[in-house]
Structure 1
Amino acid sequence: MKSANTSTNVNTLPNELKTVKELIYDNHGLNLTNLKFSTESLEYGACSFELNNKKIQYRVAKITPLKSGHFVTIWQRNKNGITEPFHISDDLDFIIIAAKRGNNFGQFIFPKFVLAEKGIITNNNKEGKRGIRVYPPWDTVASKQAEKTQTWQTKYFFTIDDGNSSNKDLIRRLLF
């Protein structure tokens, strides 16, 4: 993805990231630095940054009208300009995906190694994915596969409401 450097001025952040920075990251001593926006996936709030020296790829998932869950793209461009999934050897620690529906709002904090185990990040000659569905706990799933996916994904999810995280331990465990 094409990126452009910019400051971490809170007014330049995607709305979801701005909210989480102000309500959660700042209150947990997580310093957001080295913000770079992707010029190709702005509709997904695509950017990269560091939180206390942990390298993050960030996206905002979109609601789709005909399926449960949210969809998000998670690809990058290789040196030949072709889209490809992230790779286990890429210099990143987490992919954070924000999800919002009505008054429900939260983030998935997926460690790179978990996404590799699930086949989402390329690993051991098994190609990963360029986009996935995420299922926050408030979404009702209609299939066994979606239910299975939601079960493992929600282990990495925290809800945000008025500055209170429903799982502060998760944030500390993953990001510290």
Structure 2
Amino acid sequence: MDKNLYQIKTEIYDKCSLEISDFKTESKEYNACRIELNGLHVLSRNAKITPNKVGQFVTFWKRNGSGPIEPFNEKDRVDFFAVNVRTENEFGQFVFPKSVLIKRGILSTEKKEGKRAFRVYPNWDTVKSK
């Protein structure tokens, strides 16, 4: 478990009686993992600060076997997607329910392909354009 998820666990999950189980490591670049949180299926990723844009960038894709990467699908066993964000002085976590990911076009559906990555905007970032 990386330091961001560990900090969320000790400062929030433990205090709310949320127990992590079935921890599975995925991509090291984004400290990606799958966990169960009180029986709910959660994908966790660390977002990255990029040099030219406000906000933080996070990947959200899977690989089926040795084939190309693809977006997660509404039929995948995922209840929530947790995105950990950090700067030198700030730290937080976005938690997106599956229903929101479908509504926003992040998860693939029968009608539309989802996204492989997106940007999150913590409240400490100031967005200058619409």
Q: TM-score range by the shorter chain?
A: over 0.9
Q: Does 1:24 align with 2:23?
A: no
| Corresponding residue number in structure 2 for 1:152 | none
Q: Does 1:104 align with 2:90?
A: yes
Normalised by the length of structure 1, the TM-score is 0.72
Give me the whole-angstrom Cα distance separating, in 2, the residues matched to 1:92 and 1:135: 22
Deviating beyond 6 angstroms after TM superposition, the runs of 4 or more aligned structure 1 residues are none
More helix by share: 1
| Corresponding residue number in structure 2 for 1:54 | 40
Q: 1:69-121: CA deviations, max 9, x gaps?
A: 00011100124522000000100100000001121110000001101100111
Percent identity, aligned pairs only, is: 48
| Corresponding residue number in structure 2 for 1:137 | 123
Query: Structure 2 matches for 1:1-176, cutoff 5 A?
Result: 13-38=1-26, 41-79=27-65, 81-144=67-130
Unaligned runs of 5+ in 2: none
Of structures 1 and 2, the one with the larger relative CO (CA 8 A, separation 6+) is: 2
Residue type at the aligned position of 2:22: N
Residue type at the aligned position of 2:72: F
Give me the whole-angstrom Cα distance separating, in 2, the residues matched to 1:83 and 1:46: 15
Unaligned runs of 5+ in 1: 1-12, 145-176
Normalised by the length of structure 2, the TM-score is 0.96
Report the number of matched residues.
Answer: 130
Instruction: State the shift of 1:56 in Å.
Output: 0.3
Instruction: State the shift of 1:124 in Å.
Output: 2.9
Cα root mean square deviation, aligned? 1.0
